[in-house]
Amino acid sequence: MNCANNIVLEIDGRPVSVPCGTSVLTAAAQLGVNIPKLCVTESLKAFGSCRLCLVEIEGRRGTPASCTTPAEAGMKVTTQSPRLAKLRRGTMELYISDHPLDCLTCATNGDCELQEMAGVVGLREVRYGHAGRNHLQAAKDESNPYFTFDPAKCIVCSRCVRACEEVQGTFALTIEGRGFASKVAAGSSSFLDSECVSCGACVQVCPTATLVEKTVIEHGQPERSVLTTCAYCGVGCTFEAELQGNEVVRMTPWADGKANHGHSCVKGRFAWGYATHKERILKPMIRARITDPWREVTWAEAIGHAAAEFRRLQASYGKGSIGGITSSRCTNEETYLVQKMIRAAFGNNNVDTCARVCHSPTGYGLRTAFGTSAGTQDFDSVDEADVVMVIGANPTDAHPVFASRLKRRLRSGAKLIVIDPRRIDLVESPHVKAAYHLPLRPGTNVAVINALAHVVVTEGLLNDAYVSERCELPGFERWSSFVAEERNSPEATEHLTGVAAADLRAAARLYAKGPNSAIYYGLGVTEHSQGSTMVMGMANLAMATGNLGRAGVGVNPLRGQNNVQGACDMGSFPHEFSGYRHVSDDPTRRLFEEAWQVPLLNEPGLRIPNMLDAALDGTFRGIYIEGEDIAQSDPNTKHVTAALAAMECVVVQDLFLNETASFAHVFLPGCSFLEKDGTFTNAERRIGRVRKAMPPKNGMADWEITMALSEALGYPMHYAHPSEIMDEIARLTPTFAGVSYEKLDRLGSVQWPCNDKAPEGTPVMHVGGVARGKGRFMITEFVPTEERTTPRFPLLLTTGRILSQYNVGAQTRRTSNVVWHEEDLLEIHPHDAEYRGIEDGDLVALMSRAGETTLRAHLTERMQPGVVYTTFHHPESGANVVTTEFTDWATDCPEYKVTAVEIRKTSRPSDWQQRYAETRAETTLVGQDPGARRVSP
Amino acid sequence: MNIETMVHNANQIAAFFEAWPEEEAAAAVEDHLRKFWEPRMRTQILEYAKQGGTGLSRLASAGISRLMPA
């Protein structure tokens, strides 16, 4: 319907004005008239099947469903009449006649829309007894670890089917059969065996107890709730943690959450049980040698010991002989405190964060081009995109809630270009098909982006007005001449990239013509020796085509972990303070010196790889690691563990005895996100509150632990609550100047920059001009990685993530998510497997020049010949035993995505795996014999 | 620190700026090293360069030589 203004209609004799296109049901709700309903719910399109929301409309025959009837000007609607009441009661009677009458013992008693509607319509009797045909004996499907499907309670309203289609976009559910035989089906024999991704959208919308969380069945319904932010990926979904006392019963995605709009994935929705896992460590522990059993001690003894050791090391080996690592899993406030302690109490700048090994090139590249180290858009922006280019990212696995949003946009007409060595799910999935998949050879990103730019420049697809108005022209001229060179053409680079020139040209034209074209990218861009170059290459392309500074466009990193953006913002890198200001900048440094009352160094400190190298040459002796597991996540495991073993004092603060803790001398038990107060900043720069749902199980919040350590080092800090830490961040960081807990509570969340210029935050950056003044084009010469295939190592290994597991798996491995991923598999193209006599399920030795490990083979045509793939979620897999020390030229981000390897059939674990098992057995003992116990597998 | 790693990294940095005019490129390499390399690393690579700098690319050497105190 095409109308611009509101329309006025009359409902039950009262006028109401609503926007054109509003349903009668919604218009009535605006008046406070709640028409009975079952199949309609806010998150889904109206369906009109339940026959409860019937109304009478003057001058019209029958009783139309109000959910599917658009309001019209002058319409006179009646929502209550004897006829309507009778019809509704009759409908309810039919529903209830085929529904178990076990309300008092039902898991959703009191939280059931069917029960509520029976009351609303005044149902008092059911004339059709259960003696007739019914579905009451239908078998319950309990295969999914997190929820049950009880068809006996299903009213076939299709909400679950529609949620799977409209919200999640997986199309795993359907209505099977017709008439009385119609039923919800998950495709195959059970939910677990189906295409279902366990996002929980179906459970969320089910109006009965048909789909219900097992925790609710087991514990009953929650009695209180706390609004918080998910601690998994960089989407940063808002959840309601629903509890009984201090026990979580359910995590429910928050409809008003600005990042997720009420949607969730299997991790955030269900995989929170790790917080109470039996392997969680709750008492501080110390030991003299890493081969000694751990000894539980008081907080005072542990903190005092760590501080004394750090000071001893500094006295013996110099002030710069120690450092620390923060984590993207920590809150902004925790991260800020760690870097503050290191700069102020350690007296050096040896602080780094795990963003070093994932998105550090994003910070470098986008800052160089645009002036800010962050993605340009909010997630909502994708709704305005006409063309979406996904490069080196696998959103359906790693950022599922954003992927659902993206797929919805693609289903409604946007075009998709996928640039990835693997045929990821987005390339072709139900109702989504990429216009172009450019299956490039790993390590050739920059050649591809240059070729795309070549087409734009040489085929007259530049946005000259944007460039001349908003970019530095000398740099543009230099860049455009460079990319226009024939050697950068799709045809000239085809032999390097493996991408068909015609496809690349077509993709470039599609992107350039948009009109709104957006780039979304992941670690397949950054984790290369030219990661930073590629980020700049994408920025070049966006500027050249004018795809920056408005909704629907931009360059958008999909951050791996929940607070990658925040950890970077908070000054975790060794060269800069919060807000990305270099330590050598005198006015900035003076600001911090004044606030912190201590002199600060004006030189950059050591990055993580530098710390490890320095440990091996004896100049770096102690480290404080909060929430990070470098022994599993960082490349070349043997190098990392040798460096850790060479240190004299390794302090690990974590939930579990992780792999790094095997080399630790002090273990400080940390808190789960459910026990924290603070903030996370997601991939769209959105700062969201993390609210404490329960007291810290370890007795101390992480920020309090850091404060205690700092005090023991002679630098006391004085915060009574994390909100005071944020107040300090706001005082010292221009982009956070307007941020406060009061504002976050009031607005829900804000996106930085949030300051006087943008008091309620900035959803889209670079509007009206690029943040640094003028956009900067950089020459992005393709420099092939030195990690090349050879006759000895003829295949390329690339690593990544899957949906059910998260990063090193420390959390998700300790949940029922393991049913989907018990072990890391090696994906191999059938041709490569056949050539080596490998069959699906065989044990395979994976060898590189760095090391060897054994994995189980999974043959799939998702891979291109010559490329193999694995994940790193299980420590015993040793995926990073194989990856090498090569890094991004600018930031030292490891080149996880390109390792030359060979594979062969084997029958045993690798030597490393056998040693690993022995080391873990030796290093995870707590207490002396005879009472010693192992606390980690 | 492992000098081979440092030489490799310095050459990588230089390779990015290779397409720039010579003087500008050397300054960019120097700027990068000053901004991101811890002073001990700069001292070590500078000493290595002074002793011949085997394995360093021409541009890497040019950038490193600019780290020399005036």
Q: What is the pLDDT of residues A732-754, one digit of tens each?
A: 999 999 999 999 999 999 999 99
Answer yes or no: do A779 and B20 touch at CB < 8 A: yes
The per-residue pLDDT of chain A, averaged, comes to: 96
What pLDDT shows up at residue B49? 97
What pLDDT shows up at residue A189? 80
B18 touches chain A (CB under 8 A): yes
**Chain segment A328-383, per-residue pLDDT in tens:** 999 999 999 999 999 999 999 999 999 999 999 999 999 999 999 999 999 999 99
* A237 contacts: CB under 8 Å, gap ≥ 6: A229, A230, A253, A254, A257, A259, A260, A263, A264, A265, A268, A401
Nearest CA-CA partner of A135 in A192, A176, A166: A176
Answer yes or no: do B35 and A619 touch at CB < 8 A: no
- Statement: the pTM of the whole predicted model exceeds 0.90: yes
Three-class SS of A619-645: CCCEEEEECCCHHHHCCCHHHHHHHHH
Q: What is the CATH number of domain A360-557?
A: 3.40.228.10
Interface probe for B, chosen from A889, A892, A893 (most Cβ of B below 10 Å), is A889
Interface of A with B (CB under 8 A): 320, 349-350, 482, 529, 532-533, 574-575, 582, 584, 603-607, 610, 613-614, 616-617, 619, 779, 781, 783, 885, 887, 889-892
Contact A196, A203 (CB under 8 A): no
The model's confidence at residue B29, banded by pLDDT at 50, 70 and 90, is: very high
Nearest CA-CA partner of A771 in A172, A213, A367, A360: A367
Among the partner-chain residues A533, A582, A617, the one whose CB lies closest to the CB of B16 is: A533
Nearest CA-CA partner of A494 in A450, A547, A534, A524: A450
Task: Name chain A contacts of B18, Cβ cutoff 8 Å.
Answer: 781
What pLDDT shows up at residue A128? 87
Task: Name chain B contacts of A608, Cβ cutoff 8 Å.
Answer: none
Contact A385, A517 (CB under 8 A): yes
CATH class held by domain A795-923: mainly beta
pLDDT of residue A787 exceeding 70, the answer is yes
What pLDDT shows up at residue A2? 55
What's the whole-number mean pLDDT along residues A204-231? 97
Pairwise CA distance, residues A373 & A10, whole Å: 53
Answer yes or no: do A783 and B20 touch at CB < 8 A: no
* A585 contacts: CB under 8 Å, gap ≥ 6: none
What's the whole-number mean pLDDT along residues A795-808? 93
Where does A549-681 show beta strands of DSSP type E?
555-557, 576-577, 581-582, 622-626, 649-654, 666-669, 678-681
Among the partner-chain residues A320, A533, A582, the one whose CB lies closest to the CB of B35 is: A582
Shortest alpha-carbon distance between residue A458 and chain B (Å): 20
The model's confidence at residue A922, banded by pLDDT at 50, 70 and 90, is: confident
Contact A569, A683 (CB under 8 A): no
**Chain segment A491-540, per-residue pLDDT in tens:** 999 999 999 999 999 999 999 999 999 999 999 999 999 999 999 999 99
* A543 contacts: CB under 8 Å, gap ≥ 6: A369, A466, A467, A470, A471, A476, A770, A775, A777
What pLDDT shows up at residue A936? 65
What's the whole-number mean pLDDT along residues A4-22? 94
Answer yes or no: do B13 and A482 touch at CB < 8 A: no
The model's confidence at residue A130, banded by pLDDT at 50, 70 and 90, is: confident
**Chain segment A245-255, per-residue pLDDT in tens:** 999 999 999 99
What residues does each domain of chain B span? 3-65
The model's confidence at residue A129, banded by pLDDT at 50, 70 and 90, is: confident
Q: What percent of chain A has pLDDT over 70?
A: 99
**Chain segment A278-303, per-residue pLDDT in tens:** 999 999 999 999 999 999 999 999 99
Shortest alpha-carbon distance between residue A619 and chain B (Å): 8
* Check: complex ipTM more than 0.95: yes
Shortest alpha-carbon distance between residue B5 and chain A (Å): 9
What pLDDT shows up at residue A928? 72
Task: Name chain A contacts of B35, Cβ cutoff 8 Å.
Answer: 575, 582, 584, 604
Nearest CA-CA partner of A40 in A207, A175, A184: A207
Answer yes or no: do B40 and A619 touch at CB < 8 A: yes
What pLDDT shows up at residue A131? 80
For residue A286, what is the enclosing H or E element? strand A285-286
Nearest CA-CA partner of A607 in A349, A402, A807: A349
pLDDT of residue A421 exceeding 60, the answer is yes
B70 touches chain A (CB under 8 A): no
B44 touches chain A (CB under 8 A): no
**Chain segment A76-99, per-residue pLDDT in tens:** 999 999 999 999 999 999 999 999
What pLDDT shows up at residue A937? 62
For residue A363, what is the enclosing H or E element? helix A360-370
Report the interhelical angle of A501-513 vs A445-458 (nearest 10°).
60
Pairwise CA distance, residues B66 & B50, whole Å: 12
B2 touches chain A (CB under 8 A): yes
For A616, nearest residue in chain B (alpha carbons): B1
Among the partner-chain residues A604, A619, A889, the one whose CB lies closest to the CB of B37 is: A604
Q: Write out the residue limits of the CATH 3.40.50.740 domain(s) in chain A.
A: 285-358+563-747
What's the whole-number mean pLDDT along residues A316-334? 97
CATH architecture of structural domain A6-80: Roll (3.10)
Pairwise CA distance, residues A657 & A673, whole Å: 17
Task: Name chain B contacts of A529, Cβ cutoff 8 Å.
Answer: 12
Q: Write out the residue limits of the CATH 2.40.40.20 domain(s) in chain A.
A: 795-923
pLDDT of residue B59 exceeding 70, the answer is yes
Task: Name chain B contacts of A603, Cβ cutoff 8 Å.
Answer: 38-39
Task: Name chain A contacts of B36, Cβ cutoff 8 Å.
Answer: 575, 604, 607, 890-891
The model's confidence at residue A638, banded by pLDDT at 50, 70 and 90, is: very high
Among the partner-chain residues A350, A575, A885, the one whose CB lies closest to the CB of B35 is: A575
Q: What percent of chain A has pLDDT over 90?
A: 95
The model's confidence at residue A930, banded by pLDDT at 50, 70 and 90, is: low
Pairwise CA distance, residues A700 & A284, whole Å: 11
Shortest alpha-carbon distance between residue B61 and chain A (Å): 16
Task: Name chain A contacts of B38, Cβ cutoff 8 Å.
Answer: 320, 349-350, 574, 603-606, 610
Pairwise CA distance, residues A628 & A325, whole Å: 7
Shortest alpha-carbon distance between residue A678 and chain B (Å): 30
Answer yes or no: do A575 and B1 touch at CB < 8 A: no
**Chain segment B12-28, per-residue pLDDT in tens:** 999 999 999 999 999 99
CB pairs under 8 A between A and B: 59
Task: Name chain A contacts of B13, Cβ cutoff 8 Å.
Answer: 889-890
Answer yes or no: do B2 and A584 touch at CB < 8 A: no
| Topology of domain A285-358+563-747, CATH | Rossmann fold (3.40.50)
What pLDDT shows up at residue A413? 96
What's the whole-number mean pLDDT along residues A456-464? 98
Shortest alpha-carbon distance between residue B63 and chain A (Å): 15
What pLDDT shows up at residue A326? 95
Answer yes or no: do B19 and A887 touch at CB < 8 A: no
